[in-house]
Amino acid sequence: MWFKNLTLYKLQSPLRETAEGLQEALAAFAWEPAARFEMQRVGWVPPMGQPDAPLTHSVGNFHLLCLHEESKLLPASVIRDALDEKVGEIEHKESRKVRRREKDQLKEEVILDLLPRAFSRHRRTWGYIDARDGWLVVDTASARAAEDFVEHLREALGTLPVALPETKESPQAVMTRWLAEDDIPGDIELGEEAVLEDPRAEGCEVRVKRQDLVAEEMRAHIQAGKRVRTLALTWGERLSCVLDASLVVKRLKFLDMVQEQAAEEEAETPEERLDVDFSLMSLELQRFYPRLMELFGGERQGPAEEDPRPSAEEQTAKADDDGITGSATPRL
């Protein structure tokens, strides 16, 4: 149950549904196996794994959800070979050329013929709602998978006003400053991995592993104009991750202090184990999110709020004063 990645969304209004209301809303969109001639089927499944279990698992103000996607695997090469064979048969028997419009129709027939024999790929995406603090958390680093989760949840609930969180300071600028000035917050310990990019040249980046991130050679990259895109770090000796400048958390690990606490909790069944782990994880992350926002100046509350970040010209001037060239790319 321990999430490996975190894509965060901020609820723009309090969650209206109770645990029972969520269950009722998701029930109309429960997953069922794809029919013989369906390419894909997406729906909600019980987080606890048992077929007759509720579609939500709630612990206090935390509501755990699981989206199941079934996709039929039809490689393009298989479709192409079957289509070429069918076209060849027609051209040979009828001594004529198969035109494009007819070929498109034949392709649809080929796909319908192959679908019942296609293998299915199943994928589950987990997420939970923190109704008290107004977060939707999806266990993925993929923007597309996260948006799919949000869209299906919005479809079930009828409305779901959420937005990616924005901070008052640019995470990229702040993380770059940490390395440039060796000015790291006391509860943050840097790892040994980072990706730096040059905002002036598309695709220009430097990836480092097993590297002292405050070494002189890292400062040289920053002085050359590169900025931090991802950074490995540990928070409070409780969790480690690779933090993206877009505030996506990747390769999340809960450290010994948390894992030992989980091991002390007795669980006789897999369902009880999931319940214990979800409770500990959600409480731990509930403490982490405010600190994550605080590291970058706190959350921006809306477009009307004055932007405290310096302009591009001011950033350049400040960088020159500090002996750093280039300018950080602000998060819009």
Cα separation of 165 and 174, whole Å? 16
Per-residue pLDDT, averaged over 306-330, amounts to 40
Helix, strand or coil for residue 289?
A: helix
Position 315 pLDDT exceeds 50:
no
pLDDT of residue 248: 97
Give the single-character DSSP code of 99. P
Q: How confident is residue 327, by pLDDT bands cut at 50, 70 and 90?
A: very low
Cα separation of 166 and 12, whole Å? 13
Cα separation of 231 and 180, whole Å? 13
Cα dihedral 278→11→233→193 (10° resolution) = 110
pTM: 0.79
Tell me: the pLDDT tens digits for 259-271? 999 889 888 888 8
Position 178 pLDDT exceeds 90:
yes
- Which among 103, 115, 122, 109 has a CA at the least distance from the CA of 75? 115
Cα separation of 212 and 12, whole Å? 40
- Which distant-in-sequence residues (6+ apart) come within 8 Å of 65 by Cβ? 22, 26, 44, 47, 55, 56, 126, 127, 128, 129, 153
- Which among 181, 172, 213 has a CA at the least distance from the CA of 321? 181
Which amino acid is located at 256 in the chain? Answer: D
pLDDT of residue 322: 41
More confident call, 237 vs 49: 237
Cα separation of 130 and 59, whole Å? 10
Q: How confident is residue 160, by pLDDT bands cut at 50, 70 and 90?
A: very high
Position 317 pLDDT exceeds 60:
no
Cα separation of 79 and 61, whole Å? 48
- Which among 59, 39, 157, 79 has a CA at the least distance from the CA of 87? 79
Where do the domains of the chain lie? Answer: 76-116, 171-295
pLDDT of residue 77: 85
Cα separation of 170 and 296, whole Å? 7
Position 324 pLDDT exceeds 80:
no
Tell me: the pLDDT tens digits for 264-305? 988 888 888 999 999 999 999 999 999 999 999 999 875 433
Tell me: the pLDDT tens digits for 305-314? 333 334 434 4
Q: By percentage, how much of the chain surpasses pLDDT 70? A: 91
Take residue 298 and report the two structure tokens written for it.
């706190």
pLDDT of residue 30: 95
Vertex 179: Cα angle to 214 and 236 (nearest 5)? 85
Q: Which of 44-53, 61-70, 100-109, 293-302 has the highest mean pLDDT?
A: 61-70
- Other Cβ atoms less than 10 A from the Cβ of 182: the count is 13
Tell me: the pLDDT tens digits for 89-136? 887 888 888 888 888 888 888 777 777 777 778 999 999 999 999 999
Q: Which residue has the tokens 């649809």?
A: 108
- Other Cβ atoms less than 10 A from the Cβ of 215: the count is 12
Vertex 27: Cα angle to 33 and 273 (nearest 5)? 85
Cα separation of 36 and 114, whole Å? 10
Q: Give one DSSP letter per residue of 271-284, joined into a string.
A: HHHHHHHHHHHHHH
pLDDT of residue 66: 97
pLDDT of residue 295: 96
Cα separation of 329 and 152, whole Å? 32
- Other Cβ atoms less than 10 A from the Cβ of 198: the count is 16
Could you tell me which residues are beta bridge partners of residue 68? 43, 124
Tell me: the pLDDT tens digits for 250-260? 999 999 999 99
What mean pLDDT value characterizes the chain? 86
Position 202 pLDDT exceeds 90:
no
